[in-house]
Chain A
Amino acid sequence: SQQGEEDPQALSIQEGENATMNCSYKTSINNLQWYRQNSGRGLVHLILIRSNEREKHSGRLRVTLDTSKKSSSLLITASRAADTASYFCATVRSYNTDKLIFGTGTRLQVFP
């Protein structure tokens, strides 16, 4: 079953603009992770944020986590055409710390 819901389902922006994707989840979590998927194949791990963290940065990526609202956001600054991909959030639940449950994904299109 899906744990997360990403919003929006699809996003189109111009190069240089910022892209913000949101993720909501249902149960308490141990950590939340973001992944990128190009061309419907393998996913690439971007960032992991733990339940006791509120914000994390990695290069042009900024992730926030609000456990009171059960939500997270992924911000990509100064986007590039190469950022075009699907982005998924995934959670490890507090009571089942073994496997990731993925959301439905946001399809990002960055136009040159």
Chain B
Amino acid sequence: GAGVSQSPSNKVTEKGKDVELRCDPISGHTALYWYRQSLGQGLEFLIYFQGNSAPDKSGLPSDRFSAERTGGSVSTLTIQRTQQEDSAVYLCASSPGPGFNYGYTFGSGTRLTVV
């Protein structure tokens, strides 16, 4: 597609429920990243996929968070048993290759609110 697409754009969920956030990167981009941004804060790295390599999961804050990327394209970030501190904007980005050569193209994000 023309840009990085994220869905839903907004999600309100009850504490304890599971949520799935979707990211559709730019076609042909081999690198895909998830970040989250709490209100008024910078971006916190969560996870990085590059081609068929094992993902870099070093930023996932707990084992309630997981992500997968199917067929080297669409990615889903899953948060199990959501907590209020999970409320944030979740941003997905893709790039043609690793970050040492390219800038990222970001989606518009999913605003998650846990009530």
Interface residue range, chain B: 20 to 34
CA distance A54 to B96 in the complex (A): 25
A101 interfacial contact with B, CB 8 Å: yes
A41 & B98 in contact (Cβ 8 Å cutoff): no
Is B91 an interface position by the 8 A CB rule? yes
Given A40-B37, A98-B56, A99-B33, are A45 and B43 neighbors across the interface (CB < 8 Å)? no
- A40 surroundings in chain B (CB, below 8 A): 37, 39, 89
The verdict on A97 contacting B42 (CB below 8 Å), with A41-B89, A42-B109, A48-B103 known, is: no
Let me know if A43 and B33 touch, CB within 8 A. Answer: no
**Which residue numbers of A lie inside 8 Å of B, CB to CB?**
2, 30-31, 33, 35, 40-45, 48, 88, 90, 92, 97-105
A interface majority secondary structure:
strand
Measured between C-beta atoms, what is the minimum distance from A24 to chain B in Å?
Answer: 14
Question: B45 to A99, Cβ gap below 8 A?
Answer: yes
Q: Is B78 an interface residue (CB 8 A)?
A: no
Q: How far is the CB of B69 from chain A (nearest CB, A)?
A: 15
- Contact (Cβ within 8 A) A92 B99: yes
